[in-house]
Chains A and B, each alone.
Chain A
Amino acid sequence: MTAPSAGRQQDDPGPAGRSQQLAWLLNRVARGDHSAFEEVYDQLAGPVYGLVRKVLRDPAQSEEVAQEVMLDVWRTASRFDASRGSAGAWVMTIAHRRAVDRVRSEQAATTRERSLAFGPVHTEDVAEVVESALDRQRVRRCLDSLTPLQAEAVTLAYYGGYTYPQVASLLGVALGTVKTRIRDGLIRMRDCMGVPW
């Protein structure tokens, strides 16, 4: 794994450049290029694992799901279409769906054979990746610009992996309200972050 260093900001091509580079790498991956896949892994395994972990909490399950996600990226790279969104969003969408699927299948299953206590505990993996500190600040700032209800609805839905009816019941507000708050919140975030889509 390449160790991210704090002194790299100078060479950082910026979000747009990074995104284009990732799209190019994914294209190489689609052609079976293993070294391109290693680069994609090194860039995205952290965000993927972080997001899955945020939703699932359990380290062992998160590791399992994050692995599936990265293998999915390898397997389905040919389905990535740069005209329909950025490479990062494509991968994070796969990660989020997989995590949410896992939450929902676990919730629905009547038997819960897997005891959380049996999973190996990783203590070292809570260290944050320094590289994305700038992005993190920007997202934090934009999240702060939402109304409390918007922020809570977006956070519970996305990080919590809850369906919007579940969010409504958690917040004690009407379904229609949650529906619009999630949308308005994300739109405000989008405009605040200057997402180019």
Chain B
Amino acid sequence: MVSLPGHDLHQLTGAYAADALAGIELAQFEKHLGQCRPCADEVRGLRETAAQLGITTSIVPPPAMRQRVLGAANRTRQLAPPGGRLPEPGTPGRKAWLRRALPRPVSVAAMTAMAAAVAVLAIVLAGTQHRLEQARSANQAVARVLTAPDARIETSGTVVGGTVTAVVSERGHEAAITAAGLPAPPVSRAYELWVISAAGARSAGLMPGASASATPPVLAADIMPGDRLGITIEPAGGSARPTTAPIVVLSVAA
């Protein structure tokens, strides 16, 4: 099929709305969504449509489920709203949506990246003051990345929510990765970080999840130009190679 890449990506709105994309293609399309207003609008409508398909499958859930869920809610802290403000209840969305200008996602993304970078720094500083003995070498490595003259910030939302931010030093072949607002991984699963190259994926360790604020940074070393960073959901101890589609993929080269 001969067509422009943008046009090709646009054809994926339906598959995306039906959660039928996986892996790199999913990551690519989500990146494209951030830059393609018509795609985002179409996805919104198709998601509403797919949801209608979902709603019609309604069956009575097991009665015991209700008490379990309500009980669990009683013991579960809620996520803070993004930007620290709740919208007024009862305000219908459509007009606000029409009024909303294009720059909003961009500035939110930039602010998230800045906030995450500041949080990484704060954690590094706190670590060097209070846990110097245990944390010195790891934090030195992280500090080295953060202060590298070529340090660059890459940030992206994940499929499961939350944001992952990588501070990358290409010359130092290192990156410090932190996540904010990732949901708790499913029972006996964990988030695992991968350095993805043409040769395959190599584990860079487990990411702590379930934190509304930024997680402590994880360091990925030996990064080569063209590599990407990805996070997958794996069994709690981690896997030798990824066994699920990544929830986020970040490219580390400019």
Contact = CB atoms under 8 A, between A and B. Distances in A.
A105 B48 contact: no
A48 B59 CA distance: 9
Interface stretch (B13-21, B132-140, B169-177, B193-201): B13-21
Given A20-B92, A78-B78, A105-B244, A163 B58 contact: no
A187 B73 contact: no
Given A78-B80, A79-B82, A88 B44 contact: no
B243 to A, nearest CB: 4
B58 A38 contact: no
Given A41-B70, A45-B65, A154-B18, A129 B58 contact: yes
Interface in B162-215: 183, 186, 189
Given A104-B244, A179-B12, A23 B93 contact: yes
A104 to B, nearest CB: 6
A76 interface: yes
A102 B94 CA distance: 33
Specify the main secondary structure of chain A where it touches its partner. helix
Contact of A190 (B46, B62, B100): B46
- Contact residue range for chain B? 35 or more
Contact of A93 (B47, B60, B70, B189): B47
Of listed B59, B61, B74, B243, residue having the most chain A CB within 10 A: B61
Contact of A105 (B59, B68, B243): B243
Nearest to A68: B186
B72 A82 contact: no
A74 B59 contact: no
27 contacts: A30-B78, A46-B61, A47-B57, A50-B59, A75-B76, A75-B77, A76-B183, A78-B78, A78-B80, A83-B100, A85-B47, A92-B54, A92-B55, A97-B19, A101-B160, A101-B244, A105-B189, A127-B59, A127-B60, A139-B56, A157-B15, A164-B15, A182-B14, A183-B11, A193-B52, A195-B52, A196-B94
Contacts of A196: 48, 94
B159 interface: yes
Contact of B79 (A34, A76, A143, A178): A76
Interface of B: 1, 11-15, 17-22, 41-42, 44-63, 65-66, 68-70, 72-74, 76-82, 86-94, 96-97, 100, 159-161, 183, 186, 189, 233, 235, 243-245
Given A75-B78, A132-B58, A34 B47 contact: no
A162 B20 contact: yes
Interface in A173-194: 176, 178-180, 182-187, 189-190, 193
Given A163-B20, A183-B11, 6 more contacts: A30-B86, A68-B186, A82-B93, A110-B243, A135-B55, A195-B48
Contacts of A57: none
A101 B55 contact: no
B86 A76 contact: no
Contacts of B57: 47, 50-51, 53-54, 159
Interface in A153-173: 154, 157-159, 161-164, 167
Given A31-B86, A70-B69, A179-B14, A159 B53 contact: yes
B49 A84 contact: no
Nearest to B84: A78
A159 B80 CA distance: 32
B60 to A, nearest CB: 5
B179 to A, nearest CB: 15
A26 to B, nearest CB: 9
